[in-house]
């Protein structure tokens, strides 16, 4: 697998995403930026008038939608340029300006919800029946009624909108520091004559799966040590992010930041607790897997940098084009329309920015707004894990595609709680297809490894981070300080409990793990949704693969629902009840099943 990171100029155009589909040039973007800035400022004309009548309210919604659609295109064009080269100062400036314009627009329209609340819900529902343009807002009004006690006055809402941009500074500093400014010592091979191997955000995952244990160890230590060198700065950033969550929760009269995060989507706190409780109950499942893994490796001791050590010397090489073919075949149970649309995006419309390049943001994600493609950023490294990640992100993008094609703008921004289900369902279906159709023993071993790597992230790493996240929010809510030292100690304690005696842990380097997630932990109780997402996806994929009557139709209906339903209701429409701990328990049972399969191959 490739571990060297090339400059972007060396990547063929067909493997980069097509931002010209949004704007033909930066100059065109500048023209639109100026026009939208004026248009957004003009929305203030509705202030004080939303209660004048149903037609005025409908005019406001129409005008706001037009502006936000245009603003979305401005944001995605700028952010896509920035994400592929975080060292490009022109792109960074454009991105910062776009984020600032979004924050100013949010502040401008902050009067709306307080004014709508003042109209009163009996009147609002009468207006919905009288004005055809308002009919689509019935679910929005229901949502607003449920959260009315947390909506503040117009002045307070405007102030909360204005602080969005400066509040994002801590996360942006952490991200820029991690992606652009960290200097990583090179990894070393066990071959004393081999050249040092550069370590970068774009290739660290590949290095941690290298068959050479010395490469894995030195890459893992280099990556951790670079973050440790800036632990005080990163801790200060994260502390600021957590304090902002607590501030926002209190400003909106929630009892805690957790309740604020879950309450926005009407998710009971018990759902969060179910994840943490199920994780702790099932730690022996992980301990057994690592014992089997260590037995395969024939190591006396297994360290954290060995967790992704390959179990076969014949790991498959999966070029991007092969991945596209296998993903397309694996997703055929979802129907011809689904696969045809996805392939057009991959092969003709250039949704995906494929390969790691210098300065590119690490990891992978799906992005976009109504009016753009549902883009995917990848750091593809020609292996099964990259194939699986691509399937995952395409699940997000297809979810966006169906939602944007089906729903009015007001319901296009669905929650992460439902988003992680679509992505993981894709992965599950593709993985099942490969288990059934590629019988080669080495391939099967590698596929189990890929699956366990994915499950490790969703059912081990993310629940541990969720426990950490809850603890640091509660510390701030009690008025306690967050420092690099106490966060590292907490992180090491939680991982120590989770690894048990199955994995040897370097407490200092493991303790800095929180700093290696410069976006996740700033998103206010985001990470637990990886666990609920993979659990729901496993349940839905089983229904689809079993040809359960209506399973595919119900699944596509959930993709099309967007935010027009509450998240738990959307998943019930698809066929799974996430208020029950049972889907999470079944996900851990799948970890045990794969461990049995691996032990059988051994």
194 Ramachandran zone, left/alpha/beta (phi>0; psi -120 to 50):
beta
Q: Which pairs with CB-CB distance under 8 Å and at least 24 residues apart come from 287-295? A: 287/500, 287/501, 287/502, 288/592, 288/595, 289/452, 289/591, 289/594, 289/595, 289/598, 290/499, 290/502, 290/503, 291/502, 292/595, 292/598, 292/599, 292/602, 293/598, 294/502, 295/602
Q: What is the 3-state secondary structure (H, E, C) of 2-66?
A: CCCCECHHHCCHHHCCCHHHCCCCHHHHHHHHHHHHHHHHHHHHHCCCHHHCHHHHHHHHHHHHH
β-bridge mates for residue 197, sequence order = 187
**Active-site annotation holder among 32, 83, 115, 393:** 393
The burial of 25, by beta-carbon neighbours within 10 Å (0-12 exposed, 13-18 middle, 19 or more buried), is given as exposed
> What is the C-alpha R_g of the chain?
24
Longest dimension (CA), the chain: 79
Closest by Cα among 457, 529, 18 to 208:
457
**Residues 537/543/547/553 CA torsion (nearest 10 deg):** -70
Asked if 380 contacts 492 with a C-beta cutoff of 8 angstroms, the reply is no
Contact 384, 450 (CB under 8 A): yes
Q: What is the DSSP letter of 363?
A: S
> How many whole angstroms separate alpha carbon 554 and alpha carbon 43?
39
Q: Give the span between the Cα atoms of 266 and 270, in whole angstroms.
A: 12
Tokens at 459, concatenated: 């059912």
> Residues of 458-490 as b/e, b for ≥16 C-beta within 10 angstroms?
bbbbbbbbbbbbbebbebbbeeeebebeebbeb
**What six digits make up the tokens of 463?**
């629940």
214 given a catalytic annotation? no
- Quick check: 306 and 299 in contact, CB under 8 A? yes
Residues counted in the chain: 602
How crowded is the C-beta side of 178, counted as CA atoms within 13 Å? 30
The catalytic site residues sit at 393
């Amino acid at each position: 697998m490739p571990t060297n990171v090339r400059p972007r100029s060396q990547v063929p155009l067909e493997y980069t995403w097509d931002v010209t589909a949004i704007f033909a040039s930066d100059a065109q973007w500048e023209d639109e930026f100026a026009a939208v800035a004026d248009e957004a400022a003009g929305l203030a004309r509705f202030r004080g008038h939303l209660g004048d009548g149903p037609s005025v309210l409908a005019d406001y919604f129409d005008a706001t939608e037009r502006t936000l659609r245009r603003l979305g295109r401005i944001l995605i064009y700028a952010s896509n340029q920035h994400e592929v080269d975080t060292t490009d100062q022109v792109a960074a400036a454009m991105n910062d300006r776009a984020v600032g314009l979004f924050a100013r627009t949010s502040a401008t329209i902050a009067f709306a919800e307080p004014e709508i609340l003042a109209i009163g819900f009996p009147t609002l529902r009468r207006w919905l029946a009288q004005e055809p343009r308002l009919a689509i807002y019935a679910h929005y009004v229901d949502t607003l009624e449920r959260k009315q006690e947390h909506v503040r006055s117009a002045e307070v809402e405007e102030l909360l909108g204005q602080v969005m941009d400066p509040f994002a500074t801590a996360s942006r500093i952490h991200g820029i520091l991690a992606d652009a400014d960290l200097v990583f010592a090179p990894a070393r091979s066990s071959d004393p004559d081999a050249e040092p191997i550069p370590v970068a955000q774009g290739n660290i995952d590949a290095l941690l799966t290298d068959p050479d244990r010395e490469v894995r160890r030195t890459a893992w230590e280099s990556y951790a040590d670079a973050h440790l060198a800036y632990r005080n700065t990163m801790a200060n950033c994260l502390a600021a992010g957590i304090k902002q969550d607590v501030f926002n929760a209190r400003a909106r009269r929630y009892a805690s930041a957790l309740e604020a995060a879950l309450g926005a989507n009407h998710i009971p706190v018990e759902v969060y607790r179910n994840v943490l409780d199920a994780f702790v109950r099932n730690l022996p499942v992980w301990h057994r897997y690592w014992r089997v893994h260590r037995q395969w490796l024939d190591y006396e001791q297994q360290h954290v940098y060995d967790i992704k050590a390959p179990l076969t010397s014949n790991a498959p090489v999966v070029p991007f084009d092969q991945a596209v073919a296998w993903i397309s075949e694996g997703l055929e149970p979802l129907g011809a329309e689904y696969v045809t649309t996805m392939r057009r995006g991959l092969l003709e419309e250039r949704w995906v920015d494929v390969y790691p390049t210098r300065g590119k943001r690490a990891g992978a994600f799906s992005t976009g707004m109504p009016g753009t493609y549902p883009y995917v950023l990848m750091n593809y490294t020609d292996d099964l894990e990259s194939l699986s990640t691509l399937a995952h992100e395409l699940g997000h993008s297809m979810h966006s595609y169906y939602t944007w094609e089906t729903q009015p703008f007001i319901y296009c921004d669905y929650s992460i709680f439902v988003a992680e289900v679509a992505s993981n369902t894709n992965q599950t279906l593709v993985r099942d297809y490969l288990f059934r159709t590629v019988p080669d023993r080495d391939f099967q071993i590698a596929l189990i490894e890929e699956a366990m790597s994915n499950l490790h992230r969703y059912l081990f790493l993310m629940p541990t981070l969720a426990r950490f996240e809850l603890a640091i929010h509660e510390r701030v809510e009690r008025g306690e300080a967050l420092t690099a030292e106490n966060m590292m100690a907490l992180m090491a304690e939680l991982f120590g409990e989770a690894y048990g005696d199955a994995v040897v842990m370097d407490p200092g380097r493991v303790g800095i793990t929180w700093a290696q997630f410069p976006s996740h932990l700033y998103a206010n109780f985001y990470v637990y949704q990886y666990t609920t997402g993979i659990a729901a996806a496993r349940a839905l994929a089983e229904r689809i693969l079993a040809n359960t009557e209506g399973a595919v139709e119900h699944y596509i209906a959930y993709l099309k629902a967007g935010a027009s339903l509450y998240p738990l209701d959307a998943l019930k429409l698809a066929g799974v009840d996430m208020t029950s701990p049972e889907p999470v328990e079944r996900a851990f049972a799948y970890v045990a099943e794969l461990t049995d399969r691996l032990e059988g191959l051994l």
